[in-house]
Amino acid sequence: MPRIVSFIALIAIILVFGFLFFRVMAPFLLPLVLAALLVVIFEPLHRRVVMWCRGRTGLAAAATTGLVIAIVLLPLLTVLFIAAAEGSAVVARFNPADVRDKLAHARDQFALLRLPHAALLRDIESRLQALANAPSNPSLDPAHLADELAQIEAAVENLRQHQTVTTAQTAPAFDALQDSLRAAAKTDPQATDTRPNRDALHRASRQFHELKLVLLGGPFRTWIKELANPTEEEIQQTARRVLAETQGWLFSIGGRTTALAGRVVIGLMITIVAMYFFWHDGPGMVATVMRLSPLDDRYERELLADFTKVSRAVVLATLASALVQGLLGGIGYYLAGFHAVVLLTVLTGLLAMIPFVGAAAIWAPAALWLYFIDERSGAALGLAIYGLAVVSSVDNLIKPFVLHGASRLHPLLALLSILGGVSALGAIGIIVGPMIVSFLQTLLNILHRELLHFDRESRGGRPATGGEQA
């Protein structure tokens, strides 16, 4: 009994200090994970460097770390800073007046985008919305409300006389709206309750919305027309919101704040130091973990081998595909005449890592911009064909070639692992998420074999049958 109590106390103490250890190391998990990924990817290079250094592990670790810095980290930081600078320049050149002019020109070119009687529709809608909130505004007297309803009814009649669309639904929609407005206007001026008929007002608001859908051609056409015909206030609000969010995001990429720059520098230093020690003391670290782990040694070796193989394959396949798609996309953007080529290239490479989203999330809007905004239909068509046939299709060639069956994640599971990884770990989760799922698959396979082994032992060593043989 004392040994059992002591064992339980020991487990409890280990759990407490393990939790504290995790809290202490949590700020450095991202640099350590990045260092581990780089070590796994460049392990073949490190073995060659060890041979060149004649077995001197310290010199070989330092040399490999320097090569990784020169091959990966410095070019990556340079590209990110250039992309952030280009994005900042685009944001600085952003002018709401240009948006207004572009939208006006697009409406002139495409009849679908035109909003007939826009001022009249907005006036009726704003007045109805104000009256729908009138019961909460005690300053509105019945006479004023009646006058407002009369003006709305006159505006609706004006709209009815000048409508450009006549269908079987227009006349009933106008009649229903005008009936609701007359019902809402039937308020006794001598009544102590100065509020109009609330139900009639809300009904009139709903019926105006239905009338607008009929006049504009349905929900989708209405949404398109309203999106292409923003008010001046909406343009200004959208511009301020986009500028604020875009500038914050670009500054985060470029590290253009003191606190962020400090975190980036510290993270890079930890990554570099961790890479050196992983290569210098890696075998000893692995041996220590295996000695302390309660798992059987053969399972530990299997986990290590599978983790190394799957991690290298998944990371190389993901990064190689994203890099190639980004570079190919950058060539297309350059030939199409875009200015922020590096920014578009980086965004294409980043989104290319996400299943079902891919590089099309960048080159497709770019092609639409060329067609609708710049009015360069030839360049837009060429970029769309190039993006579909080359940029997005190369992913189907690179990943199978690199993976070689090392990872067989279902596409849905791959998507969820990436989205969950990004949510939990940030950008590095694009790579770490699938690795964790693959590692879990290996653990479940080991558990399955252990359960089969226990089942055979419980049967007295008899061979498994049926599903066990499968």
Q: Using one digit for the tens of pLDDT, what is the confidence trace for 31-78?
A: 888 888 888 888 888 989 989 988 888 899 999 999 999 988 888 888
How large is the average pLDDT for residues 350-376? 84
Instruction: Kindly state whether residue 27 falls inside one of the protein's structural domains.
Output: no
Q: So what's the pLDDT on residue 468? A: 44
Residue, of 327 and 420, whose pLDDT is higher: 327
Residue, of 427 and 304, whose pLDDT is higher: 304
Given 192, 212, 228, the domain boundary residue is: 228
Dist CA 310 CA 442 (whole Å): 10
Work out the burial of residue 184: count CB atoms within 10 Å of its CB; fewer than 13 is exposed, 13-18 middle, 19 or more buried: buried
Which of the four pLDDT bands, split at 50, 70 and 90, describes residue 364?
Answer: very high
Q: Which residues contact 201 (CB under 8 A, 6 or more apart)?
A: 128, 131, 132, 134, 180, 184
Going by C-alpha positions, the residue among 369, 113, 105 that lies closest to residue 226 is 113
Q: So what's the pLDDT on residue 397? A: 80
How large is the average pLDDT for residues 103-123? 80
Residue count (the chain): 470
Residue, of 19 and 141, whose pLDDT is higher: 19
Instruction: Kindly state whether residue 405 falls inside one of the protein's structural domains.
Output: yes
> Looking at 156-309, which runs of residues are DSSP E strands?
none
Dist CA 241 CA 135 (whole Å): 32
Instruction: Give ∠ CA 149-152-155 in degrees, rounded to 5.
Output: 155
In contact, 367 and 117? CB cutoff 8 Å: no
In contact, 407 and 438? CB cutoff 8 Å: yes
Q: Which residue has the tokens 């190919």?
A: 328
Dist CA 311 CA 104 (whole Å): 52
Give the pLDDT confidence of 268-293 residue by residue, as tens digits.
Answer: 899 999 999 999 888 888 788 778 77
Max CA pair span of the chain: 104
Dist CA 202 CA 463 (whole Å): 75
Instruction: Kindly state whether residue 269 falls inside one of the protein's structural domains.
Output: no
Least confident window among 151-155, 199-203, 222-226:
199-203
The number of CA neighbours under 13 Å toward the Cβ of 292 is 7
Give the pLDDT confidence of 121-153 residue by residue, as tens digits.
Answer: 888 888 888 777 665 544 456 677 778 888 888
Question: Which of 83-92, 230-239, 260-269, 332-341 is the most confident on average?
Answer: 332-341
How large is the average pLDDT for residues 351-374? 84
Q: So what's the pLDDT on residue 273? A: 92
Given 204, 228, 252, the domain boundary residue is: 228
- 59: its two tokens: 């010199």
Instruction: Kindly state whether residue 82 falls inside one of the protein's structural domains.
Output: no
The number of CA neighbours under 13 Å toward the Cβ of 416 is 7
Q: So what's the pLDDT on residue 466? A: 44
Q: So what's the pLDDT on residue 67? A: 92
Query: Do 210 and 317 belong together in one domain?
Result: no
Count structural domains, the chain.
Answer: 2
In contact, 370 and 382? CB cutoff 8 Å: no
Which of the four pLDDT bands, split at 50, 70 and 90, describes residue 324?
Answer: very high
Dist CA 252 CA 247 (whole Å): 8
Which of the four pLDDT bands, split at 50, 70 and 90, describes residue 465?
Answer: very low
Query: Do 299 and 375 belong together in one domain?
Result: yes
Instruction: Kindly state whether residue 255 falls inside one of the protein's structural domains.
Output: no
In contact, 174 and 207? CB cutoff 8 Å: no
In contact, 235 and 201? CB cutoff 8 Å: no
Query: Do 207 and 121 belong together in one domain?
Result: yes
How large is the average pLDDT for residues 431-460? 78
User: What is the enclosing helix (H) or strand (E) of 360?
Assistant: helix 360-368
How large is the average pLDDT for residues 249-254? 54
Dist CA 461 CA 470 (whole Å): 18
Q: At residue 192, does pLDDT exceed 50?
A: no
Which of the four pLDDT bands, split at 50, 70 and 90, describes residue 418?
Answer: confident
Q: What percentage of residues in the chain have a pLDDT greater than 70?
A: 83
Dist CA 426 CA 253 (whole Å): 13
Instruction: Kindly state whether residue 169 falls inside one of the protein's structural domains.
Output: yes
Residue, of 174 and 111, whose pLDDT is higher: 174
Instruction: Kindly state whether residue 285 falls inside one of the protein's structural domains.
Output: no
Going by C-alpha positions, the residue among 273, 285, 305 that lies closest to residue 69 is 273
Query: Do 198 and 311 belong together in one domain?
Result: no
Dist CA 84 CA 343 (whole Å): 7
Query: Do 307 and 172 belong together in one domain?
Result: no
Query: Do 197 and 311 belong together in one domain?
Result: no
Going by C-alpha positions, the residue among 318, 290, 283 that lies closest to residue 46 is 283
The per-residue pLDDT of the chain, averaged, comes to 79
Going by C-alpha positions, the residue among 452, 450, 470, 445 that lies closest to residue 307 is 445
Q: Which residue has the tokens 């007359």?
A: 182
Instruction: Give ∠ CA 247-251-256 in degrees, rounded to 5.
Output: 140
Which of the four pLDDT bands, split at 50, 70 and 90, describes residue 117?
Answer: confident
Domain of residue 191 covers 117-228
How large is the average pLDDT for residues 83-110? 75
Dihedral angle sign, alpha carbons of residues 8, 10, 14, 17: positive
Q: So what's the pLDDT on residue 467? A: 44
Instruction: Kindly state whether residue 125 falls inside one of the protein's structural domains.
Output: yes
- 302: its two tokens: 């299997």
Q: So what's the pLDDT on residue 139? A: 47
Q: At residue 382, does pLDDT exceed 90?
A: yes
Q: Which residues contact 354 (CB under 8 A, 6 or more apart)?
A: 415, 418, 419, 430
How large is the average pLDDT for residues 242-269? 64
φ, ψ of residue 229 to 5 degrees: the values are -130, 60
Q: So what's the pLDDT on residue 406? A: 55
Going by C-alpha positions, the residue among 39, 37, 40, 67 that lies closest to residue 52 is 67
Q: So what's the pLDDT on residue 248? A: 60
How large is the average pLDDT for residues 336-364? 86
Given 198, 228, 258, the domain boundary residue is: 228
Query: Do 202 and 337 belong together in one domain?
Result: no
Burial 45-62 (b: 16+ CB within 10 A, else e): ebeebbeebeeeeeebbb
Residue 456's SS3 state is helix
- 351: its two tokens: 């989104």
Dist CA 182 CA 205 (whole Å): 13
Q: Which residues contact 377 (CB under 8 A, 6 or more apart)?
A: 370, 371
